[in-house]
Protein backbone atom coordinates (compact mmCIF):
# COMPACT_ATOMS: atom_id res chain seq x y z
CA UNK A 1 0.00 0.00 0.00
CA UNK A 2 1.03 3.58 -0.52
CA UNK A 3 -0.41 6.99 0.15
CA UNK A 4 -3.61 7.73 -1.76
CA UNK A 5 -3.39 8.85 -5.38
CA UNK A 6 -5.83 11.42 -6.74
CA UNK A 7 -8.16 10.51 -9.62
CA UNK A 8 -7.80 9.46 -12.31
CA UNK A 9 -5.91 6.26 -11.56
CA UNK A 10 -6.19 2.80 -13.05
CA UNK A 11 -4.29 -0.24 -14.10
CA UNK A 12 -4.36 -3.61 -15.78
CA UNK A 13 -2.83 -7.06 -15.59
CA UNK A 14 -1.91 -9.15 -18.64
CA UNK A 15 -1.03 -12.84 -18.37
CA UNK A 16 2.08 -14.12 -20.13
CA UNK A 17 1.45 -17.85 -19.69
CA UNK A 18 -0.62 -20.41 -21.60
CA UNK A 19 -1.58 -22.37 -18.46
CA UNK A 20 -1.84 -19.79 -15.63
CA UNK A 21 -3.62 -16.44 -15.46
CA UNK A 22 -3.45 -13.36 -13.31
CA UNK A 23 -6.72 -11.50 -12.84
CA UNK A 24 -7.27 -8.05 -11.39
CA UNK A 25 -9.14 -8.31 -8.12
CA UNK A 26 -9.32 -4.63 -7.36
CA UNK A 27 -7.62 -1.29 -7.70
CA UNK A 28 -7.96 1.69 -5.43
CA UNK A 29 -6.23 4.96 -4.68
CA UNK A 30 -3.85 3.11 -2.34
CA UNK A 31 -3.38 -0.43 -3.67
CA UNK A 32 -3.64 -2.93 -6.52
CA UNK A 33 -4.79 -6.51 -5.88
CA UNK A 34 -4.73 -9.51 -8.18
CA UNK A 35 -5.15 -13.26 -7.93
CA UNK A 36 -3.63 -16.22 -9.78
CA UNK A 37 -5.65 -19.08 -11.31
CA UNK A 38 -5.04 -21.94 -13.72
CA UNK A 39 -6.95 -22.37 -17.00
CA UNK A 40 -9.77 -24.22 -15.21
CA UNK A 41 -10.22 -21.32 -12.79
CA UNK A 42 -8.73 -23.04 -9.72
CA UNK A 43 -6.80 -20.67 -7.45
CA UNK A 44 -3.03 -21.08 -7.57
CA UNK A 45 -1.83 -21.41 -3.97
CA UNK A 46 1.83 -22.07 -4.79
CA UNK A 47 3.07 -19.84 -7.64
CA UNK A 48 5.58 -21.27 -10.10
CA UNK A 49 7.64 -19.88 -12.95
CA UNK A 50 4.56 -20.35 -15.14
CA UNK A 51 2.76 -17.55 -13.25
CA UNK A 52 4.08 -14.78 -15.47
CA UNK A 53 2.24 -11.51 -15.99
CA UNK A 54 2.64 -7.82 -16.68
CA UNK A 55 1.04 -5.36 -14.29
CA UNK A 56 0.52 -1.69 -15.14
CA UNK A 57 -0.53 0.97 -12.67
CA UNK A 58 -1.45 4.40 -14.06
CA UNK A 59 -1.78 7.68 -12.24
CA UNK A 60 0.48 10.08 -10.44
CA UNK A 61 0.92 11.55 -6.99
CA UNK A 62 3.24 14.33 -5.88
CA UNK A 63 5.57 13.08 -3.14
CA UNK A 64 7.33 15.62 -0.93
CA UNK A 65 11.11 15.17 -0.75
CA UNK A 66 10.78 14.58 3.00
CA UNK A 67 8.84 11.33 2.31
CA UNK A 68 11.43 9.78 0.03
CA UNK A 69 13.93 7.26 1.34
CA UNK A 70 16.33 8.51 -1.34
CA UNK A 71 16.01 12.08 -2.52
CA UNK A 72 16.32 11.14 -6.22
CA UNK A 73 13.97 8.10 -6.34
CA UNK A 74 10.26 7.38 -6.11
CA UNK A 75 9.74 3.80 -7.27
CA UNK A 76 7.58 1.38 -5.25
CA UNK A 77 7.75 -2.27 -6.23
CA UNK A 78 6.05 -4.97 -4.20
CA UNK A 79 5.82 -8.40 -5.72
CA UNK A 80 7.27 -11.69 -6.62
CA UNK A 81 9.78 -11.70 -9.43
CA UNK A 82 10.81 -15.35 -9.61
CA UNK A 83 9.91 -18.44 -7.62
Confidence bin at 73 (pLDDT 50/70/90) = low
Confidence bin at 76 (pLDDT 50/70/90) = low
**φ, ψ at 53 (rounded to 5°):** -160, 160
| pLDDT, average across residues 51-72 | 73
pTM above 0.75, yes or no: no
Name all contacts of 4-8 with Cβ < 8 Å and 24+ positions apart. Answer: 4/29, 4/30, 4/61, 5/29, 5/30, 5/59, 5/60, 5/61, 6/59, 6/61, 7/59, 8/58, 8/59
- Digit-coded pLDDT (tens) for 4-60: 777 777 888 888 888 888 888 888 888 788 888 988 889 888 888 888 888 887 777
Q: How far apart are CA 74 and CA 78, in angstroms?
A: 13
Amino acid sequence: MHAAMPSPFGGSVTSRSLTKRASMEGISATSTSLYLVDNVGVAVKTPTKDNRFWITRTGARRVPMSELAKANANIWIHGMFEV
